[in-house]
Amino acid sequence: MKIFLSSDMEGTTGVVDWGQCRAPSPEYDYYRGLLLAEVNAAIDGAMAAGADDFLVNDSHSTMQNLRPDQLHGDASYLSGRHKPLYMMQGLDPTFDAIFFVSYHGSMSSAASTLSHTYNPRAIADVRLNGTVVGESGINALVALAHGVPVVLITGDRTAAEEATPICPGIETVVVKESVTRFAASSLHPRRARALIRDGAQRALERLHTFRPPAITLPATLTVVFRNGDLAEMACWVRGVERTDDKTVTMTDDDPLRLFRTFITTVVLTRDIAE
């Protein structure tokens, strides 16, 4: 059984500030260790359920937050800051299941620690076929393209709740309750790891009940940017249409192409995002 694991960082137990998840800082060095332990807890649980092949795709910031020799399960490690498929780079149809570890809520959620949707300086809100989605829902387009189910998400409660409509039946492990974007009540890391391990095992023991993400095709992404300049620039990408001052839509019957169109708008608008 082969597992694709995409690891972010803002959903790690204890993390409540950008300084804790951005290099260089002593705090970052500490919290990246907690992230590594949560990734390993998910791998441990998967191995207990019979998984034996792992690819960890580092998906946070410059995407080089883990220590390759400390990954459990002899996992392969995909890292580095320029990846065409970003948080889903490396996925293909040979994988049996997908884990999202240390994910966070969307920019438009009521309160989620360090909430954002790909770029907090550019994007205010994203809907997929009308449903508010965070990174989990957008990334699920790639899962659908390859026919692989997303079976586990770990992070704060908002991350868990936002993933559920797109990935029905997904095993959710809540390691912290967000109070605001910069405060959360976290489980003790040891307790969080135990829950992640159990959740990963449980998800794979009922893998036969899962289907690829529930996204009706053709699918539409509606993106509200933080200002009109960003929306105007996003329309430089073919297939992106402006619907009001700050809003654009993109529709495609190919989920992978839709994801790539979205990523292109994210990368393009980075230049003028403040």
User: What's the CA gap between 41 and 264, in Å, rounded?
Assistant: 33
| In the complex, minimum distance from the CB of residue 117 to Zn ion, in angstroms, rounded to a whole number | 8
| In the complex, minimum distance from the CB of residue 8 to Zn ion, in angstroms, rounded to a whole number | 4
Burial readout 60-79 (b: 16 or more C-beta within 10 A, e: otherwise): bbebebbeeeebbbebebbb
Considering the complex, state which of residue 144 and residue 266 has its C-beta at the smaller distance from Zn ion: 266
| In the complex, minimum distance from the CB of residue 53 to Zn ion, in angstroms, rounded to a whole number | 25
Considering the complex, state which of residue 60 and residue 260 has its C-beta at the smaller distance from Zn ion: 60
Contact 174, 104 (CB under 8 A): no
Burial readout 18-48 (b: 16 or more C-beta within 10 A, e: otherwise): eebbbeeeeebeebbebbbbbbbbbbbbbbe
User: What's the CA gap between 207 and 171, in Å, rounded?
Assistant: 10
User: What's the CA gap between 227 and 212, in Å, rounded?
Assistant: 34
Q: Which residues contact Zn ion (rule: CB under 5 A)?
A: 8
Considering the complex, state which of residue 161 and residue 205 has its C-beta at the smaller distance from Zn ion: 161
| In the complex, minimum distance from the CB of residue 50 to Zn ion, in angstroms, rounded to a whole number | 30
| In the complex, minimum distance from the CB of residue 61 to Zn ion, in angstroms, rounded to a whole number | 9
Q: Could you tell me which residues are beta bridge partners of residue 241?
A: 249
Task: Tell me the DSSP string of 74-108.
Answer: G-EEE--S--TTGGGTT--TT-SEEEEEEE---TT
Considering the complex, state which of residue 8 and residue 252 has its C-beta at the smaller distance from Zn ion: 8
Helices (H) and strands (E) in the chain, counts: 6, 12
| In the complex, minimum distance from the CB of residue 105 to Zn ion, in angstroms, rounded to a whole number | 10
Amino acid at the residue 260: R
User: What's the CA gap between 80 and 62, in Å, rounded?
Assistant: 6
| In the complex, minimum distance from the CB of residue 221 to Zn ion, in angstroms, rounded to a whole number | 17
Considering the complex, state which of residue 8 and residue 38 has its C-beta at the smaller distance from Zn ion: 8
Considering the complex, state which of residue 63 and residue 237 has its C-beta at the smaller distance from Zn ion: 63
| In the complex, minimum distance from the CB of residue 135 to Zn ion, in angstroms, rounded to a whole number | 5
Q: Could you tell me which residues are beta bridge partners of residue 2?
A: 53
Considering the complex, state which of residue 44 and residue 156 has its C-beta at the smaller distance from Zn ion: 156
Considering the complex, state which of residue 3 and residue 15 has its C-beta at the smaller distance from Zn ion: 15
User: What's the CA gap between 212 and 223, in Å, rounded?
Assistant: 23
Closest-approach residue to Zn ion (CB): 8
